[in-house]
Structure 1
């Protein structure tokens, strides 16, 4: 089995896969330099002692787009998913060295859209920093894939994602119903310059930082589905 076939199998069975060496050290530093030079005053930037996040990342920092979509990422995306997918969401997360922030197990159940409207199968709705988000029908969620670009070596000591393999295949899976006598937990350790690809319905969590090292990640979601004519993907980039 070749590498691409193995990654496809991992995504189908486990809901995630990890690929090293998508970005060189120099490319990682270029991406970080663009982020560090950005205007931090915008309301989509959230900064505290435990977290620095940029919502609508590729819209807020368009200079990063060419650096992120390098030939390696484009090649992997085309081989795994085809060429008709487009970007629908992007977030930058920086978990500082002293962060005590953690995220409990959850699925990513919402999409970012441009307006709020009553539509069958869409709901509940939320609004974060003037951004509408809604839980869409399951078929839309099942079609999405997420690429997490790691700008630091990441393991269980500095907030690597922990996941429940195969949980993406169980549709809506409430964390409080996890049967740990049946399920198992895996830490998704990723090297600097590597990526983790995952399905949004995969149960995942993130622990506190204990090793005094940063964990900076760019989270990008992709789909090839059009929404009903009344709605548009808020962050769509072809």
Structure 2
């Protein structure tokens, strides 16, 4: 699999069972009363995950993960966003085809090339210039086995090379979706412009994922990443 061509890759056995258990223990101990924690019958999510649970950072950024990042992308990248998703056994929600087109920033400013803007859970988000999105990457850390039965991510290989495009422009006669099955302890690496989706849970198995976005871009003057941190 060629990451530059396909826009994604899967690397297994980044974390051991013991390391996964330590991460889950740190999450379970966290105070979930804050607004960045969202818990319903069908979803448990923590936004600004690394900021909310700083004790989990050294458990996540192990030597193996750091080596993967530097080998693939060099030393210039830093964390710009992190979310924890827990899709319970009976969850029936799905995510439609989309690209990840926004970044999290500290404030809203009228700047050429940045927009449209949104505010979600007291967090400013904006679509930045295309070159920033094209250069960013995401690592999805799997704490459970994931396949189509419990909503593993589906992607359209190579779709990140088309820039920003609408899901309804996908030509399914020539394009094929791929299910990104990942074992617990493995990671999926992807470009945010890769078209992706996920289905409902049908096999009564959980799917817990830590989603971390990375960039090396300097934003326009006056604007800062809201979750920027080194690792």
- Report the TM-score when normalising by structure 2: 0.99
- Equivalent residue for 1:204, pick from 193, 196, 208: 196
Q: Does 1:128 align with 2:120?
A: yes
Partner-residue secondary structure (3-state), 2:200: coil
Q: Does 1:24 align with 2:16?
A: yes
Q: Does 1:91 align with 2:83?
A: yes
By how many angstroms is 1:84 displaced? 1.1
Matched residue, 2:185: 193
Matched residue, 1:61: 53
Note the alpha carbon deviations across 1:69-126, whole angstroms, 9 max, x for none.
0000000001000011100000000000000010000000000000000000100000
Q: Whole-Å Cα distance in 1 between the matches of residues 42 and 81 of structure 2?
A: 23
How many residues in Structure 1 have an aligned counterpart in Structure 2?
A: 230
Note the alpha carbon deviations across 1:32-62, whole angstroms, 9 max, x for none.
0000110000000011111110000000000
By how many angstroms is 1:229 displaced? 1.8
> After the TM superposition, which parts of structure 1 deviate over 3 Å for at least 4 consecutive aligned residues?
none
Note the alpha carbon deviations across 1:175-220, whole angstroms, 9 max, x for none.
0111100111000000000000000000000100011110000000
Partner-residue secondary structure (3-state), 2:183: coil
Q: Whole-Å Cα distance in 2 between the matches of residues 69 and 131 of structure 1?
A: 25
- Report the TM-score when normalising by structure 1: 0.96
Aligned-residue CA RMSD (Å): 0.6
Q: Any residues of structure 2 matched to 1:136-175 within 5 Å, and which?
A: 136-175=128-167
Q: Which runs of 5+ in 1 are unaligned?
A: 1-5
Matched residue, 1:116: 108
Q: Whole-Å Cα distance in 1 between the matches of residues 192 and 94 of structure 2?
A: 18
Q: Whole-Å Cα distance in 2 between the matches of residues 140 and 177 of structure 1?
A: 23
By how many angstroms is 1:158 displaced? 0.3
Q: Which runs of 5+ in 2 are unaligned?
A: none
